[in-house]
Amino acid sequence: MSKKLPLYILLVFLIVVNGFFLYNYLGAGPKNNGKEPMRPKMFLTKELGFNLAQKARFDVLDKKHHKRMQNISSDIRVLKDDMFNGFSDASFDESKIIALTKLIGEKEAAKDLEVYRYFSKIKEICTAEQQETFNRILKDALRRGDRGQGPPPGGRPGEMREDGPDGHRPPPPMDGERMEQMPPPIH
């Protein structure tokens, strides 16, 4: 019995740790101060204050957009699979890779175009006041989604500006509560 005691202790320890993990990972749900993260559709509906007719139009628009985005993403996935499966094919040459990457690029462009059209159609649903709010939300989302990409704020590197002590324009402040509720950028 004494030889097996460490094994029994280890077994009990592993069961407790697994139970703790399963509870936290599967059972407890999101841990952001009791608030569930807001999905982009719910966020827009709430922030823009859509009435029932606008919500109905938005639902139809959102379902069509989601289906189109799924189709384009599926096409991209198939093309990328084809490209990377070429590693095992001896007849797969550079021209095939270039052709596949061009097709992937066209699909990515179609995806961006679909997102742009989706936002344009949402804007058509909005009243004039809602359109102003929508434009502000889009600008905030683009700023958040573009962190770490592109040139530094304020222009080209080395270009001095009078906006801040370091020569760069500081980013505008975000309302803490709105930023916390904002969904991740839609790609």
Mind listing the pLDDT tens digit for each residue in 113-131? 999 999 999 999 999 999 9
Kindly tell me if the per-residue pLDDT of 85 is higher than 70: yes
The better pLDDT of the pair 15, 67 is held by: 67
State percent of the chain over pLDDT 90: 36
Kindly list the distances between the CA atom of residue 60 and the CA atoms of 67, 70, 136, in Å, as whole numbers in the listed order.
11, 16, 24
Q: If you average pLDDT over residues 1-9, what whole number do you get?
A: 74
Of residues 44, 39, 43, the one with CA closest to residue 125: 44
Kindly tell me if the per-residue pLDDT of 145 is higher than 80: no
Residue 125 structure tokens? 């649903």
Q: What pLDDT shows up at residue 15?
A: 80
CA distance linking residue 58 with residue 68, whole number of Å: 15
Residue 39: band (very low, low, confident or very high) from pLDDT cuts 50, 70, 90: confident
Q: If you average pLDDT over residues 11-21, what whole number do you get?
A: 76
Residue 170 structure tokens? 């500081």
The better pLDDT of the pair 3, 133 is held by: 133
Q: What pLDDT shows up at residue 108?
A: 93
Q: What pLDDT shows up at residue 138?
A: 87
The better pLDDT of the pair 93, 177 is held by: 93
CATH class, domain 38-143, is mainly alpha
Q: What pLDDT shows up at residue 161?
A: 47
Query: Which amino acid appears at position 126 of this protein?
Result: C
